[in-house]
Amino acid sequence: MESEKTPGDFDPHTYLLINPDVAAARVDPAEHYLRFGRSEGREYKFPEADNVPEAGADTGPGKTETQDVDREMIARSGLFDDCWYRIAAGITDETIDPINHYVDIGERSGLNPSKRFDAQGYRYINDDIGKSKYNALVHYLRFGRSEGRARSILDKIVMKDVITTERQFIVVLFHECSRTGAPILGWNLIEHLKQKYRVIALVKATGPIIQSIKKSAEVTIVIPDGVVLFPAQCYLLAKRLYEMYKPKYAIANSVETRCFVPSFEEIGIPTLSLVHEFADYEWIPPGSLNDLFKKSTHVVFSTDLVARNCVSHYPCLLNVPYEILAQGRSSLPIEDAKTVRSSGNPLGRRIEMLRNKDNFIVAGMGRVTHRKGVDLFIETAFEFYKRYPIRNIFFIWIGGWDESDTAYAEYQQKVVREHGLGDKVHFFPEMYDLDYVYSRIDLLYLSSRLDPMPNVAIDATCHGIPIICFRRASGIAELFEQSCEFSHYVVERFDVEAAADAICKLSETGDAKPMKARMKDFSRLFQMENYVKKLDNKMIELSKAARRDYEE
């Protein structure tokens, strides 16, 4: 069948030799010729004349007739910006032609011809020219446009048309939709802000709470799976978003959404960046937050501990106004189909078996990761039972495994067995009904190595549950140290023996019960309504000046 459709003298091997971009893409040569090559006028056998250049290919300093046509085509396309390119390429010599520079070396150096065309993005979504030397802009002008090829990921992103009303739009940026701190906070921001604004959720990666986000936001824009966002694509996305919705401002809900911030600011969308992360987290490359801090209209840190850490890594913050604001308590979105009372399922029954009037339950919560200090949690339990072997105390950890590091979780379970703690330390998977969990535990042990202001700590204070935590390891520890009532619940950093002693003292003195009322009073620091109102008021104040500066 293939021989009937391709020319009789078509040779796949020769086609790949003549078209190295097709070979680099590792696609079927016959299929490529039928889908693209024939309409592009590609050769499939060696021509009689030697050294016939590909359109847009680099053939050295000599200017062939084909190259001259390519350059003229670029000049007329409206996709090349001379002034913008000169600045981007650092060209100060007026005798250098910017189009020649772009064709000869610019694109291979990672430069784009303008903000209207992203060469890397075009290669990324058109894998048949992905790794070839074929000039991306020339390919698009010669073939891609007439073939209807996508020139940007924007062609794959759906933005819903809306009816114009007096209510303004705002944008909330999500790096993912997991049931973890920042995404949960983002959903809560939408729930509160939608009373006043029409809210757009811009989502980099989907996850378990995506349906809750879609129900709450008026518009949800999801970046397709596997798409890498290059700067030019972020700019085009911001430009289209502004043209369609003209949002008043945006909230970048995590430093992991930092790729959007420079483009949003450049296009005239003032951005508030919420920073919950420490700068020295292993997944944040050194120096990668410079643009976020320098270009955001306003920066808000969740705790002073996080602010000091970021300033120590990014001195630019010394010249950037920022604010420290305690995060409000988040509600947990639960899809109707997944709402299950924990007391009615096997996990709830397991907790009930541990719970009776004489037992004392110490809980840790979060993903089973090194940062959450699950190993410190287990070592504390081991130290506790060495010192106080007859206490009726159980240690439970509630949270799923980190799929990127299952070896860590498996090793911690092995340690539990080796320490002989199998009947004293219990692991539970992620549970939806945390209110039930809080009603069954006596103490939260925050064993994290670094945890800015975890939602579970805020939730525990609201339920009146005392918290044992490490000094200089979390925002809640910092707040406790400022209070004479709660400072004795902070132990030296990673001192598992001191943590074991603090747990024992709390369990034997019965201090947990009278502490509940005082802890609930302390929880008034974490009012989501006040938190959101302060963020909104700040951006109303700053967005007017930011918009005026942009227009000027």
Neighbours of 179 (CB within 10 A): 20
* CA angle, residues 170, 325, 447, in degrees to nearest 5: 115
In this structure, are residues 444 and 460 in contact, taking their beta carbons and an 8 Å threshold?
yes
Provide the 10 A C-beta neighbour count for residue 116: 18
Q: What is the pLDDT of residue 341?
A: 45
Cα separation, 110 vs 103, in Å, equals 12
The predicted-structure confidence for 22-62, as pLDDT tens digits, reads as follows 766 677 778 888 888 887 777 777 544 333 344 444 444 44
Tokens 């105390």 appear where? 393
CA 454 to chain centre: 17
Q: What b/e sequence results for 382-395 when a residue is b if at least 16 CB atoms lie within 10 Å of its CB, and e otherwise? A: bbbbeeeeebebbb
What DSSP character marks residue 368?
A: B
CB 101 within 8 A of CB 91: yes
What's phi and psi for 100, nearest 5 deg? -60, -45
The answer to whether the CB of 258 falls within 8 A of the CB of 284 is no
Q: What is the 3-state secondary structure (H, E, C) of 225-279?
A: CCCCCCHHHHHHHHHHHHHHHCCCCEEECCHHHCCCHHHHHHHCCCEEEEECCCC
Q: Which two tokens stand for residue 275?
A: 């920073």
d(CA 490, CA 474): 10
The pLDDT score that the predictor gives to residue 313 is 95
What parts of the chain have a pLDDT lower than 70? 1-4, 13-14, 17-18, 20, 23-25, 46-66, 130-132, 153, 155-156, 226, 228, 334-348, 357, 509-513, 546-547, 550-552
Residue 13 has a pLDDT of: 67
> What is the pTM assigned to this prediction?
0.73
3-class DSSP state for residue 200? strand
Confidence at residue 2, expressed as pLDDT on a 0 to 100 scale:
41
What's the pLDDT score for residue 31? 81
pLDDT value of position 55: 42
* Cα gap 494→450, rounded to integer Å: 11
HSE on the CB side for 243, CA within 13 Å?
7
What span, in angstroms and rounded, lies between the C-alpha atoms of 251 and 171?
A: 6
The total number of residues shown for the chain amounts to 552
User: What phi and psi values does residue 433 have, to the nearest 5 degrees?
Assistant: -90, 80
Segment (H or E) for 490: strand 490-491
Give start and end residues of each alpha helix (H) in 9-94: 12-18, 20-25, 29-32, 38-40, 65-77, 82-89
- Could you give the CA distance from residue 168 to residue 246 in angstroms, rounded to a whole number? 8
Q: Which residue is it, tokens 């020219």?
A: 129
Residue 92: how many other CB atoms lie within 10 Å:
8
Angstrom CA distances, 180 to 363, 426, 455, stand at: 18, 21, 9
Question: Which of the 8 DSSP states describes residue 319?
Answer: G
Residue 292 parent element (H or E): helix 290-295
Residue 469: predicted pLDDT: 97
Q: What is the predicted pLDDT for the residue at 48?
A: 44
Q: Taking all residues of the chain, what is their mean pLDDT, rounded to a whole number?
A: 85
The pLDDT value recorded for residue 535 is 97
Tokens 């995404």 map to which residue? 183
